[in-house]
Structure 1
């Protein structure tokens, strides 16, 4: 995504530079206490560190969203951006079979950022964290030339074993927890300035994957699981490489939103480009024993042993671009 240089605050809106660090920390943390054994947070924001109740092995993941690279505030509201940052990290913990217990957020922001933008980010993160039964329990605030939101998600495995990427098995079936391609389509629509597809645009600005299907997957004996953050082909390639297996996916079986075909027609493109290569849907991708796929999942392919040939094959497409998907560099 091309970097956009823009003003984020105009007088008379208060900026973070006007307010100062201590007041901003109070504003972000709020005066409500999140401490208590009922929440799993023993010590929340305001101390040197947060303290969370135990729950067996700990699962930790971190991700950063950069203004102009992962979001734009002329496309998304601050609430949407805050929620998106939380969802991306919750997906990593829950795809491992973990239960999210808290989030730590580090914010780097320009001095001319409006305080109202910071409040919106806070509210979006709080609401999204609560959706997964967790809280934002601490973080850091610093000045910089660009808005960067770095989130660390913390989770507990309780009595479960972690679900790895490397444990897909020959004979398994591949399944996803929800529709793919919507976020990639939404991004292209925004870049092209094409309107009329609000569901797809919303899927990019604030994805809402069905991550709660992870719990049923672990109960059903899922073999391998991840979330689709970099695109379906990219995630399949990673799972295939780490598991030492080959993957075949049938694109006609991948669930999509009803608007996708019309959006592709409006942009004169093939919707499969988004289905196979679009990222940031954050739906779950899993490998199950045949016959053990739980309710809510859609079977899209198989895990195989294949000598020679590509690690990932797509039914009906001879020349698959295995490099399709999000690239950081």
Structure 2
């Protein structure tokens, strides 16, 4: 590194692997569950429940995010959020995250600084920490996160427990991120609310454990779209799911944006992913927990319908299609 190059102007190749690790971990406080954090061959995390819930997601630049549309800080928050919402969908509380990061050697260290700051911010929203990981050279910015969670004595809520007669309910926003993607794809940067929803999701983290405590029979994170992900519950539970159109809320803001773009706001709500909302089924003889709203029912049969009819068109996101 030349004498006139400041730490802020470095590239990752100039900083080196261990220099980058120091930048990401230095001065960060770990939660009590982290018994041994970054700096050794592996981390040690307390598992008071005796079981650990684990999930992983990979985000690739130009596939899952674009730095032309989002800041590195926003990308960091989103990368963590998509993992934490999966833990919530099992009824677990997040405890720690392992981060794998690949990037081109010419990437400025400021990008890594902002990215890690966003990761830490989102993790700290739920009391979790970044407990370790790895950094490598890669042709595009790639983020792989493994999130670990604690069931705190709960039975994990899977996709396979839905029964005919159960109420289908959702928690969190639907359609906002899809609307934001449509806006960004047209070259616009407003309305801020919908664009912000695409850049950084707001998963209802607390709703997952609440649903588990309330006796949810199945649950899933709707990262690929409501219809597509309810389809996974229907298949795993060997049931049908029928949504009621009158119960599907289409926010006025989305209707306005759709009208301006010549799009269908209802389609965004039914098929748009990346809001990281939760969908679950509940026994019919009890009130829904706080933050949950009914959208349909579990029925005999298979697949997902809307008012008894098959939805025409794509039901959500699927890789390689």
TM-score range normalised by the length of the shorter chain: over 0.9
| 1:3 corresponding residue in structure 2 | none
Where 1:17 maps in the other structure, the secondary structure is helix
Give the root-mean-square deviation of aligned CA atoms: 1.6
Contact 1:101 1:134 in 2 (8 A): yes
Query: How far did residue 33 of structure 1 move?
Result: 5.0
| 2:22 corresponding residue in structure 1 | 26
> Which of 315, 318, 325 in structure 1 is aligned with 2:307?
315
Unaligned runs of 5+ in 1: 1-11
| 2:317 corresponding residue in structure 1 | 326
Render the CA deviation track for 1:123-150: whole Å, top value 9, x for unaligned. 0000100111100100000011110000
Matched ranges for 1:239-250 at <5 A: 239-250=233-244
Distance in 1, matches of 2:244 and 2:71, equals 36
Distance in 1, matches of 2:131 and 2:189, equals 38
Contact 2:250 2:265 in 1 (8 A): no
> Which of 35, 44, 52 in structure 1 is aligned with 2:45?
52
1:202 aligns with 2:193: no
Matched ranges for 1:129-140 at <5 A: 129-140=123-134
Distance in 2, matches of 1:265 and 1:253, equals 21
Query: How far did residue 322 of structure 1 move?
Result: 7.0
Contact 2:250 2:266 in 1 (8 A): no
| 2:271 corresponding residue in structure 1 | 277
**1:176/1:68 CA distance change after superposition, 3 Å:** same
Matched ranges for 1:230-245 at <5 A: 230-245=224-239
Unaligned runs of 5+ in 2: 1-7
Where 1:302 maps in the other structure, the secondary structure is strand
Query: How far did residue 114 of structure 1 move?
Result: 1.1
Distance in 2, matches of 1:199 and 1:13, equals 33
Query: How far did residue 22 of structure 1 move?
Result: 1.6
Query: How far did residue 251 of structure 1 move?
Result: 3.3
Moved more, 227-236 or 188-197: 188-197
| 1:9 corresponding residue in structure 2 | none
The total of aligned residue pairs comes to 311
> Which of 275, 289, 293 in structure 2 is aligned with 1:298?
293
Distance in 2, matches of 1:278 and 1:252, equals 18
**1:322/1:217 CA distance change after superposition, 3 Å:** farther
Distance in 1, matches of 2:218 and 2:43, equals 31
- Runs of 4 or more consecutive aligned structure 1 residues displaced over 6 Å after TM superposition: none
Where 2:105 maps in the other structure, the secondary structure is coil
1:40 aligns with 2:33: yes
Render the CA deviation track for 1:225-270: whole Å, top value 9, x for unaligned. 1111000110111110110110011233233444100110111011
Matched ranges for 1:1-329 at <5 A: 13-34=9-30, 39-55=32-48, 56-290=50-284, 291-306=286-301, 311-315=303-307, 318-321=309-312, 323-329=314-320
TM-score by length of 2: 0.93
Moved more, 286-295 or 101-110: 286-295
Distance in 2, matches of 1:153 and 1:188, equals 29
Query: How far did residue 202 of structure 1 move?
Result: 0.6
Render the CA deviation track for 1:145-177: whole Å, top value 9, x for unaligned. 110000000112221111010001110001111
Contact 1:181 1:278 in 2 (8 A): yes
